Amino acid sequence: MRTATRVGVFGLLGSGNLGNDGSLEAVLGYLRAEHPDAVVDALCGGPEAVTAKFGIPATRLHWNRAEYRTASRAGAIAAKGLGKLVDVFRTAAWVRRHDVVIVPGMGVLEATLPLRPWGFPYSLFLLCASGRLLRTRVALVSVGAAEIGNRPTRALVRWSARLAAYRSYRDAQSRDAMRAMGVDTARDEVYPDLAFALPTPREWGIPCSEPVGELGEGPTGSPGTVCLGVMDFHGGNDDRARAEEIHRRYLDGTIRFVRTLVEEGRPVRLLTGDQCDASVVAAILDAVDSPLVTAAEPASLADLMNEMAAADTVVAVRYHNLICALKTGTPVLALCYAAKSDALMERMGLGAYRHPAREVDADRLLEQFRDLEKHAAQLRRTLTERNRAAAEQLAHQFTALTTTLFPANDHDHAHAMRETP
């Protein structure tokens, strides 16, 4: 009698980042469609949130509940050290219970935002090493990667990738980065981000806004809404020394941009992508006191897409905010903070509409924004074509995943081997 395949999903899921949870939602959709008998659970950052939102059992990623708090007292430091040791056995025990573990998307092989080696990179290494030792297939699916300068982080990320049974990347730059760090990528493929597999508001049956007019006019001639996706941005892992300077420059330029739009009578809708972005929303609302500026509280990528589908144009920083706009066919201007954003915009045919998040120049941003609106109709047609291609590529990846991770003849053998005393 065939035993159901046990599938684990792993990552900083349920921790408030909508992009991470959207990647999980895409993988769960694939599993439910192609492997409905699979038994799925998670090892993740926010187990309660994952269970409530997705209906699967979940276990906390770290034994130490204060893992991401700064430890200054001796007791807290000792607890963190003990937690690292305990997590070795906790991770291995969890991996052993599974036939397959999937890491769904996310930038798990990069350090484009502040990151400590003994945080998530260490956890990912424990997962991949346990998978290799216990013969559980670990798959890194449409993940992001970037070259890493910090030696401990670089080593942990490199070995995590080497030990995985399957690797695919969300852009060619990610694959090139892993090759540069010493990983054999000859058999690794590049596919779009997993969020491109999610349905859009139009597919849910929710009516979308009509195409924008030439000068930011809505279908009735009134000024159209601009969605602004914000981020609590302080630079990357190598920018810690000037993090506050980068944040202030980003915030000042964004506020100037919003103030100009409001002076022209344009409604602005502020959107977040992570719970930590709320401070930026508050700063903008405080600086631009106008009923034209409102804020949404999206709880999922679906909520973000619904907001963006109703807008004329989008300006955004977070990677998955960009994807949501692109998915809905809404022209978007990207404030880029990493190569992944540049690659995404090039891939979707909007390479001309990029602006550096570290050096926000409000005048130049407004110039690019007006050009974006001028060419909106043409860009919508381009996005329709590129979205169709992305969906086809992801369907191909899911077929490849089934072939690699779920070979029909060895499910029972692998499970029986684990149950043998």
Going from the N-terminus, what domains does the chain have, and what CATH number goes with each? 6-190 (3.40.50.2000), 201-385 (3.40.50.2000)
In sequence order, the β-bridge partners of residue 346 are: none
CA angle at 285 for the pair 280 and 289, rounded to the nearest 5°: 155
Encode pLDDT of 231-264 as tens digits.
999 987 777 889 999 999 999 999 999 999 999 9
Encode pLDDT of 17-52 as tens digits.
999 999 999 999 999 999 999 999 999 999 999 999
E strands of 248-368, at which residues? 268-271, 293-295, 313-316, 332-336, 354-356
Amino acid (one-letter) located at 203: E
Q: Cα(235)–Cα(357) distance, rounded to whole angstroms?
A: 9
State the average pLDDT over residues 186-192: 96
Q: What global pTM score does this model have?
A: 0.86
Encode pLDDT of 257-312 as tens digits.
999 999 999 999 999 999 999 999 999 999 999 999 999 999 999 999 999 999 99
Encode pLDDT of 147-171 as tens digits.
998 899 999 999 999 999 999 999 9
> pLDDT band at residue 414, thresholds of 50, 70 and 90?
very low
State the average pLDDT over residues 103-129: 90
- How many CA atoms lie within 13 Å of 273's alpha carbon, on the beta-carbon side? 22
* Sheet of strand 354-356: strand arrangement: 293-295, 268-271, 226-229, 313-316, 332-336, 354-356
Q: 88 vs 79, 120, 122, 123, 134, CA distance in Å?
A: 14, 13, 10, 9, 13
Residue 3: name the closest of 34, 37, 28, 29 by CA. Answer: 37
Q: 266 vs 329, 375, 389, CA distance in Å?
A: 20, 18, 33
- The pLDDT assigned to 239 comes to 79
Instruction: Evaluate whether 346 touches 291 at the Cβ level (below 8 Å).
Output: no
